[in-house]
Homo-oligomer: A and B are copies of this chain.
């Protein structure tokens, strides 16, 4: 058996996209900087095709714009595709990580309650039951102190609600929520025991959706997100005594 999780050496253009994307997101490559393709070739020791493909991708993300006779120009943040998964990751990896986290939390705060509301209006009986059972298992895992299982079910629950909204644009944000939840766990910003209220709220969301009570579903989901942010902020402030960062 070969090692199951060894990335089989990513393609060169992928690496270059990564490098440039990170540098632009970080600000190392400032807006309005001009890059020339042939210098990128030499700096990164790759061929023109690789450079072209990479820059082309970054152009479509709004991070570059290539103009004849000028070069390819680094674009300001306003034109980036802030919803592109890669851009999100780059921003999370940059020094503006906290700003990005806040933006993502606010986005989540806008989307998830609305998704819950729509789910309550649209979810099939089956989907409703699935959500209720998911919430029950989540509740059990929370009370049983099984952190890994709790995280897994939490992610699955929120993905299920988003999916039940019937709006593909909402469904797609399950990746977002996933990143936020795992991010919180990885950085030790999660309380050892999930708050009882939070557990109950998940159950409330599920049963409201099952019963078609749109406004209750919306309200409960709003509380979940609010609590999430509050908890994170609280534990964050404990961890970070004045004078720290990163």
Contacts and interface: CB of A to CB of B under 8 A. Distances in A.
A83 B84 CA distance: 7
A78 B169 CA distance: 9
Interface in A1-37: 13, 17
A199 to B, nearest CB: 25
Looking at A56, A57, A168, the one whose CB has the most chain B CB atoms below 10 A away is A56
Nearest to A109: B114
Interface stretch (A100-108, A200-208, A209-217): A100-108
Interface in A109-137: 109-111, 113-115, 118
Contacts of A114: 106, 109-110
B172 A82 contact: yes
A106 B167 contact: yes
Contact of A168 (B49, B53, B82, B171): B82
A114 B114 CA distance: 11
Nearest to A59: B57
A3 to B, nearest CB: 20
Determine chain A's interface SS by DSSP, over half rule. Answer: helix
A61 interface: yes
A7 to B, nearest CB: 15
Interface string A142-186: 000000000000000000000001011111100000000000000
B103 A168 contact: yes
Interface of A: 13, 17, 49, 52-53, 56-57, 60-61, 77-78, 81-86, 102-104, 106-107, 109-111, 113-115, 118, 165, 167-172
Given A78-B172, A83-B84, 17 more contacts: A13-B56, A53-B56, A57-B57, A57-B60, A60-B84, A78-B171, A81-B83, A83-B83, A83-B169, A83-B172, A84-B84, A106-B165, A106-B170, A107-B111, A110-B113, A110-B114, A110-B170
23 contacts: A13-B56, A17-B60, A49-B52, A53-B53, A53-B56, A56-B57, A57-B60, A60-B61, A60-B86, A78-B168, A78-B172, A82-B168, A82-B169, A82-B172, A83-B84, A83-B169, A84-B84, A102-B167, A106-B169, A107-B111, A110-B111, A110-B114, A110-B170
